[in-house]
Structure 1
Amino acid sequence: MAGPLTPHTLAADPVLTDGNRLLVWIIAVVAVAALALAAVLVRQVLAADEGSDSMKKIAAAVQEGANAYLARQFRTLAVFAVAAFFLLMLLPADDTSQRIGRSIFFLVGAVFSAITGYVGMWLAVRSNVRVAAAARAATPEAGEPPADLTDVSHRAMKIAFRTGGVVGMFTVGLGLLGASAVVLIYKADAPKVLEGFGFGAALLAMFMRVGGGIFTKAADVGADLVGKVEQGIPEDDPRNAATIADNVGDNVGDCAGMAADLFESYAVTLVAALILGKVAFGDSGLAFPLLIPAIGVLTAMIGIFAVAPRRSDRSGMSAINRGFFISAVISMAGVAVAVYAYLPSSYADLDGVGADISGHPGDPRVLALVAVAIGIVLAAVIQQLTGYFTETSRRPVRDIGRSSLTGPATVVLSGISLGLESAVYSALLIGLSVYGAFLLGGTSVWLALFAVALAGTGLLTTVGVIVAMDTFGPVSDNAQGIAEMSGDVHGEGAQVLTDLDAVGNTTKAITKGIAIATAVLAATALFGSFKEAVDTAVTKAHPGASDARWLSLDISQPNNLVGLLFGAAVVFLFSGLAISAVSRSAGAVVYEVRRQFHDHPGIMDGTELPEYGRVVDICTKDALRELATPGLLAVLAPVAVGFSLGIGSLASYLAGAIGAGTLMAVFLANSGGAWDNAKKLVEDGHHGGKGSAAHEATVIGDTVGDPFKDTAGPAINPLLKVMNLVALLIAPAVVKFSYGVDANAAVRIIVAGVSIAVIVAAVYVSKRRGVAMGGADDMGDGDGGGQDRESSGSTVTA
């Protein structure tokens, strides 16, 4: 719209009624029950057998490396958290209580995100050896009766999925507990305080996602290029010095990083729903958005236990699909009961809403139920769509496998084309879902935006099972690695783990697809929260003679179109920085592994052990070193755009980032997942099998896809939410200094100038880093190649 924004007629600040307060307390108890179930599942997983001594020794090395990395990462991130805590204190708020609460719950959100990630890693590095030990039963010792192969496969799968169930319960339990606590403590002020809670969760998740992604893919790419391609040895051969780092990376990237990512998706969606709920549904809007995911917690418990493989199942994916759909159907039924039991039949009967909504025709129960249903159906459809493009039994992956017969170039081309095509279908589904929810609001933009947020909470009802699906992947991958390194699992037992790993690749791709859907729904809902913050700030600005064009959202204005382009460009730059970081670190790993093979020829004949700790240390140092640039870009780019080009340009910037980010994230995730499973397809004996030219081609495709699907792609999810939350937090200040009696061009220029200078400096420093490949002689030009890569004392051995 042209001209200044028209302030919304906000409802009088509601307070929790006794009934709503009791409901929120019950929701908090449900959250605690989820954590209690997690404890039960932990005991079940740890009760399983750990296997042979060699398997335990390898698992202990992985545990040591993962713990060391996360400890160093948390120490690094603590600096960012403390700085953000005090910066939040400087941003405008209605009163001191809000400002303090926002900063405190910023730390709570960050700590909860860290706990979720750490628990995911802690249990995964203990579960992997137990899954491998369960598969070992398929190849009994001489004199022992043969085991039932189906039973063995089911037992291994159950251990891996129950591990994911623990992480799922922590995700939904802590997310719901944090949001409930804010509502109970701050009541009408809860939405403002929740901005800090969501920002803390999103910021930490982005750092963990980027750092863990760089670590895991640097090790994976380095291990594959030297081990598989150059030396012709298996992926997890113990002679490869990068194998321990590769297994560590699976846990710090896919377990810790993805768990934190999905936790912040959960938290940020709740934040957006509660902010808009206060405007659209008044008092009920502070409780109802919590009720929907609370139902999801209960149904997730059922869904996790429903993943019980049957003999009639075509693959492990059948059991996982069954658990997911059982959870989704029960959630839908539970939500229907809750909606009609809790909400009135008329908007006029809602307590504390504004006059523009109380007079709105229609039934709030219908709006809520249909919006939530849209979110649940979206999750189910994306699950099937992503599975189609990434499962080994489907045509797209088989086509990539077939392309390997003509070399690596066609493998790469077919994977890129698959990713680009799949991104279109996913974007259409997400876009139609957002628009369908938006239409439910009729003439009220606030009801429409709240419907979008409710669709997000509907998708959250499946998050417990989705997180379990995601963690299942790296646990299965690690189990196969431990089995291969130990040499104690072979024959049918090894095939069980190979099959589980292929299923795990698909579940990881599916969860990435659903994660970007939650990111778009949350970002769109936060867009509404952003508008509400702007409207409130404009009302307080007491406009004077200032130029109001800085507030216009008209896309025909050049400054707004520039903001749109900048938002899309930041997604590309962020992705490029992440992939470049993996490339640099992987180069160092390649040279280190090559050096060890060259300097210690006894490694290949088994008379010498590789120095695993050196590779772990390289990956740790590089991952932590590379964190700053993408983090500064995500936080400061919205600041630079908002203070230089105005609030309208900032809104356009967010729109550009959401659009480009959606397509980019799905493209990267699906291309990478399809390449990975095409490699599995060839390794299962198709097109010449292991060691063939087709195998080498798919290994190269998988290597290209590794940073796509596990670093840059999933990191876009928290990137979108971090930028939206930063925009939401700075919106009042941007309005204040752009419009009204306090307009101050000097302040805007200084803030924008400093932000741009920091971004440029960070990117410049990042691009100046060379690929430290063991020494200046290996670098050729000597630029940045002399970095010290000596081990810092890591004692990781196997």
Structure 2
Amino acid sequence: MITIQDLFWLIPSASVLALIFAGIFFYRMKAQDEGNEVMKMIARHVRSGAMAYLRQQYKIVAIFFVLITVVFAFLAYCLHIQNPWVPFAFISGGFFSGLAGYIGMKTATYASGRVANACRHSLDAGLQIAFRSGAVLGLTVVGLAMLDIGAWYWVLDWFYGDMELSMRLVVITTTMLTFGMGASLQALFARVGGGIFTKAADVGADLVGKVEAGIPEDDPRNPATIADNVGDNVGDVAGMGADLYESYCGSILASAALGAAAYMAVPEMAIKAVLTPMLIAALGTILSLLGVYAVRVKRGASQTELMAALNRGINLSSFLIAIASAFLLQLIGLDNWAGIWGAIVTGLAVGIVIGKSTEHYTSHDSYPCRKIAHSAKTGPATVIISGIGIGMISTCIPVITVVVGTVLAYGLASGDWHFTGAEMSKGLYGIGIAAVGMLSTLGLTLATDAYGPISDNAGGNAEMSKLDPEVRRRTDALDALGNTTAATGKGFAIGSAALTALALLASYIEELKISILHWSEATGNTIYKINDAVSVEVSKISTASLSDFMGYFQVTLMNPKVLMGLFVGAMMSFMFCGLTMNAVGRAAEKMVKEVRRQFKEIKGILTGEAEPDYVRCVEISTAGAQHEMIWPSVLAVITPICMGIVFGVPGVFGLLAGGLASGFVLAVFMANSGGAWDNAKKYIEQGHVGGKGSESHKAAVIGDTVGDPFKDTSGPSLNILIKLMSMVAIVTAGVNIAVTLF
């Protein structure tokens, strides 16, 4: 008879399997020919610039991590209002998140030249290298996540082995949630810093190179070209890898914590509920490998056939996970396994619908993109207006899909279709499981996302190496598809963030309960004073239902503290976007001035007789990113802490709810607008609406530069902001309990 303890070993086994295949794909890619000496030289320039940037970024991030770890250690070991495992869990989460991004970026910088060289032979050869190199990032992310989660669970289960099972599971899962903050903070630095770097270079290269000088994209005469290619790697690969690592971990850990709380009264069921999201993720990791091998096309494939090949891999993995998870849940023997399975399928369906919606609004074959392209006939103003309008409309389907998915996941898992709150814990567990289901194919979906910047760099390498125009045509086909898959990946990440953040809200309550117990043990008090009018016995709070707990702390819309938190949370999304957009603007302004200076002062650049100073442009982007990423990241950390100290638990709930609602919609709008502007430009470059060099093309380039920080800096960073604020609130729950001004 297979027990749940036996099934646990599927988690580290899936981790090892994913990392082995990531290693196989990496070394197979390295074995491919990188091309001629010029191609190798360009690849080295990009690789050295990317590694130099990442080393500098990690130095700055390390300083922040050391400072925050010291604060956590002080709270834990001196004031005794923090879980003593938090400092270690925080460091662990940040380390693995950064490691996932580093490995992905190293792979991408080796792969791009090889993709360009493979495209000299066939489109399929280029696709195979680009996609499987992207799979290295996807498999590394899920492999390291499974390794981190499995190791922490095993260690904590051993350490708290003498504790009663139900309480042990609650303590283990709430402790494991704290390493999510380290992953989230690292991801935010990576996304914001990488986004600022890449978009400063991209905007500078496009405005001066394409619009003013009239030279092609990725032309070696453009001083910002190498910086642009470096930016694709540090932003869209390293940043994205760290981003989705924390999304993946956050959904699994939040679901596990909710499972421990929902089934606390039945210990043998609680351990099954805790391990179920981890086992579903492990199963998805294994089945994603089959999807990787399903992606291939024939010679002479069209854009539609390329997209169909990628969709075939994703759909196959999703179908297999839907079938296999039913058998796994039956084997586990979890209560209401059919309802939990329904929540998993719901999550998978939500991910597919959001992906299709994003594809419709951002694909260069779709009506919205072509509408933007045709609006370029009347200049950049109408391009920008059209793109903003389409981006706003595009929020409708993802939001409705998440709403319907949330309702279905809650109802299926709890059986409470009237939403009375009687089975709220089980319903919220279902929402968390839906997020796990949505991310269960991450090993594959992240491969399709990382494939985009690799293909983009391959096109740059082909252009700078002056390869046959047919090679550039093939890399452009891969790149245009990559824009759509990248936009789809961003929509996927944002959608999963919305579901995960809902689960984290409930996990915050469980962490508050544990913090109240710690406070009681440290102070010897058995009565907790919520405010001047309400005091409750600690024993009642620690065993209260979610509805009772919300009643104790007066978390209702009629409480001004909640309303103030809602306003501040909504404002945070716009403030964060404003800071990151302006950061890109300032860095891009310096890049534009530098490119103009070089064109003016270095004689012979435009005639190809002199080589531009590529290093100087990389330095400008690096300095701008390192300086500008600090304040938005710090703001995301200190706001939940300050809100908790000033307005207590009700204020924090309002902050998280306001940030979730506004951040989700704003992120979808920005990601889709940016993707649509980018592919509208590419549609014109293919010879439509005037083609390259026309006035329509120049207008579309300006629209694309506006969209660059939308889709690659501010938009994708918002989903991290949503979860980071939740994670900070969870980790600092002890401070909320010990100190509140109002």
Map 1:32-431; keep pairs closer than 5 Å.
Answer: 32-91=16-75, 99-137=83-121, 152-187=122-157, 188=168, 189-281=171-263, 282-310=270-298, 314-344=304-334, 347=335, 364-431=336-403
Map 1:309-708; keep pairs closer than 5 Å.
Answer: 309-310=297-298, 314-344=304-334, 347=335, 364-440=336-412, 441=414, 442=416, 443-487=422-466, 489-537=467-515, 540=520, 542-544=527-529, 546-547=531-532, 551-708=553-710
TM superposition shift of 1:267: 0.9
Q: 1:57 to 1:520 in 2, by over 3 A?
A: same
2:541 alignment partner in structure 1: none
- Counterpart contact for 1:277–1:289, Cα < 8 Å: no
Taking the aligned partners of 2:647 and 2:570, their CA distance within structure 1 comes to: 16
Q: 1:209 to 1:102 in 2, by over 3 A?
A: same
* Code of the aligned partner of 2:708: D
1:216-261 CA-to-partner distances (Å, cap 9, x unmatched) read 0000000000000110001111111000000000000001000110
1:145 alignment partner in structure 2: none
1:399-437 CA-to-partner distances (Å, cap 9, x unmatched) read 111111111111101100111011122111112212221
- Counterpart contact for 1:222–1:242, Cα < 8 Å: yes
TM-score (ref. length: structure 1): 0.84
Taking the aligned partners of 1:257 and 1:664, their CA distance within structure 2 comes to: 20
* Code of the aligned partner of 1:29: S
Taking the aligned partners of 1:474 and 1:305, their CA distance within structure 2 comes to: 21
Q: 1:421 to 1:544 in 2, by over 3 A?
A: closer
Taking the aligned partners of 2:445 and 2:456, their CA distance within structure 1 comes to: 18
TM superposition shift of 1:89: 2.4
- Counterpart contact for 1:299–1:461, Cα < 8 Å: no
Taking the aligned partners of 2:52 and 2:515, their CA distance within structure 1 comes to: 46
Taking the aligned partners of 2:19 and 2:325, their CA distance within structure 1 comes to: 22
TM superposition shift of 1:548: 5.1
TM superposition shift of 1:544: 4.5
Taking the aligned partners of 2:516 and 2:58, their CA distance within structure 1 comes to: 39
- Counterpart contact for 2:174–2:511, Cα < 8 Å: no
TM superposition shift of 1:92: 5.7
Q: 1:50 to 1:563 in 2, by over 3 A?
A: same
Could you say what secondary structure the match of 1:543 adopts?
strand
Taking the aligned partners of 1:722 and 1:328, their CA distance within structure 2 comes to: 28
- Counterpart contact for 1:183–1:286, Cα < 8 Å: no
Could you say what secondary structure the match of 1:269 adopts?
helix
- Counterpart contact for 1:209–1:715, Cα < 8 Å: yes
- Counterpart contact for 1:191–1:274, Cα < 8 Å: yes
1:589-624 CA-to-partner distances (Å, cap 9, x unmatched) read 000000011111211111211100001001101100
- Counterpart contact for 1:303–1:465, Cα < 8 Å: yes
TM-score (ref. length: structure 2): 0.91
TM superposition shift of 1:460: 1.7
Could you say what secondary structure the match of 1:608 adopts?
coil
TM superposition shift of 1:25: 2.2
Taking the aligned partners of 1:642 and 1:175, their CA distance within structure 2 comes to: 30
Taking the aligned partners of 2:381 and 2:397, their CA distance within structure 1 comes to: 25
TM superposition shift of 1:115: 0.8
Taking the aligned partners of 2:366 and 2:445, their CA distance within structure 1 comes to: 21
1:244-293 CA-to-partner distances (Å, cap 9, x unmatched) read 00000000000100011011101111110111111124121231111100
1:453-478 CA-to-partner distances (Å, cap 9, x unmatched) read 10011012111111101110000000
Taking the aligned partners of 2:77 and 2:674, their CA distance within structure 1 comes to: 43
TM superposition shift of 1:88: 2.1
* Code of the aligned partner of 1:382: I
- Counterpart contact for 2:81–2:735, Cα < 8 Å: no
* Code of the aligned partner of 1:276: L
- Counterpart contact for 2:570–2:658, Cα < 8 Å: yes
TM superposition shift of 1:95: 12
Q: 1:21 to 1:134 in 2, by over 3 A?
A: same
1:772 alignment partner in structure 2: none
TM superposition shift of 1:106: 1.4
Runs of 4 or more, structure 1, over 6 Å off, are 93-98
* Code of the aligned partner of 2:287: T
- Counterpart contact for 1:102–1:195, Cα < 8 Å: no
* Code of the aligned partner of 1:491: P
Taking the aligned partners of 2:530 and 2:464, their CA distance within structure 1 comes to: 73
TM superposition shift of 1:315: 3.1
1:757-782 CA-to-partner distances (Å, cap 9, x unmatched) read xxxxxxxxxxxxxxxxxxxxxxxxxx
TM superposition shift of 1:717: 1.3
Taking the aligned partners of 1:193 and 1:19, their CA distance within structure 2 comes to: 25
* Code of the aligned partner of 2:472: A
1:312-349 CA-to-partner distances (Å, cap 9, x unmatched) read 763311100111100100010110110111124xx4xx
Equivalent pairs counted in the alignment come to 691
Q: 1:702 to 1:734 in 2, by over 3 A?
A: same
- Counterpart contact for 1:121–1:251, Cα < 8 Å: yes
Q: 1:386 to 1:520 in 2, by over 3 A?
A: same
* Code of the aligned partner of 2:703: G
* Code of the aligned partner of 1:570: M
1:623-669 CA-to-partner distances (Å, cap 9, x unmatched) read 00112101111000111111111211210110000000101110010
Could you say what secondary structure the match of 1:433 adopts?
helix
Taking the aligned partners of 2:604 and 2:145, their CA distance within structure 1 comes to: 51
Unaligned runs of 5+ in 1: 1-16, 138-151, 348-363, 739-744, 749-798
TM superposition shift of 1:497: 0.8
